[in-house]
Amino acid sequence: MCGIVGYFERGQNTAGPLGKTVLKMLEALACRGPDSAGVALFGPPKPGRFLARVKAGEDGAADCTAAIAAAAEDFGASDLTQNGAFLRFAIRDNSDVPAFLSRVEAVGREVEVVSVGRRLEIVKQVGSPGNLEHTFAISNLRGSHGLGHTRLSTESIVDISHSQPFWSHGYPDLAIVHNGHITNYHQLRRRYGQHGVRFYTENDSEVIAIYLARQLQSGLGLEAAMRGMLTDLDGSFSCLAATASEFGFVKDPFSLKPLVFTETSEFVAVATEEIAIRLALPGIYDVREAQAREVRVWRR
């Protein structure tokens, strides 16, 4: 099951009602994934700083919060706030991101840096999209493009870390959502593990974010990186990915998982089901089904 959604504003506005739009799309697909929900939203740029979202344990324990704040001091941490299990604060954008991850996550076993970016912020939570809205008020968040996911767990456990979207854990401003199953996940995991890559979950979707990050680090653009998935990843994947300036989807060679999209002069919207697009974005436009092996990327 699971439901994925994505929205991309085609104008120059980087502070539109993004959270409200993505939430409406997710709510339309809530029945596909009652276990957890999450969003990756790209807000207005933050020159000179990265925004970090950190999970301070599943319950956001107060003792972890103080230790995380202390660990982040060397990276210029400022403007720290806490909401639910998540801390949000800024660090210098010239910070060594892997060193930041290592320092902060050494605080405790359940501490996880969920996203880092000049524009990207990820929040996710066990339960429905309504639960996500109640805790984080995502309908008030503004930006230009974003992703959303509702999850029905079929293999791994139900907690915040196993929920989507996934960040690449090291490559700023990259997020993915996925519906499907990567059948060569364990092979890829062993290969990346031999190169020192840490995995945070048993969710096969996590490997997609790591794969794309490594492709982008090698100099490829997002479109070329997503096309590589068609040969390097086996199984079923309707997948959306986004960076600070790009947004796109890829559908596996067998077209096993549903995915539809629309493209107008004002926006691009992608979802597992058409109802998610229609309910969030009233108007007259065509919606079509993505085809097997189709890759589409839009750039700001």
Per DSSP, the three-state class of 231 is helix
- Cα 68 to Cα 44, 97, 289: the distances in Å are 26, 15, 45
DSSP three-state, residue 101: helix
What the block records as the tokens of 137 is: 């008020």
Out of 2, 31, 64, 239, the active site residue is 2
Q: Measured between alpha carbons, how far is residue 178 from residues 4, 37, 120, 232 in Å?
A: 7, 13, 18, 16
Residue 199: CA atoms inside 13 Å, Cβ hemisphere, count?
20
The answer to whether 54 and 113 are in contact (CB under 8 A) is: yes
Place of tokens 């806490």: 82
Radius of gyration of the chain (CA): 18
Active site residue 64: no
Q: Where do runs of H (alpha helix) occur along the chain?
A: 18-28, 62-71, 97-105, 129-136, 185-193, 206-217, 222-232, 274-280
Q: Which residues carry out catalysis?
A: 2
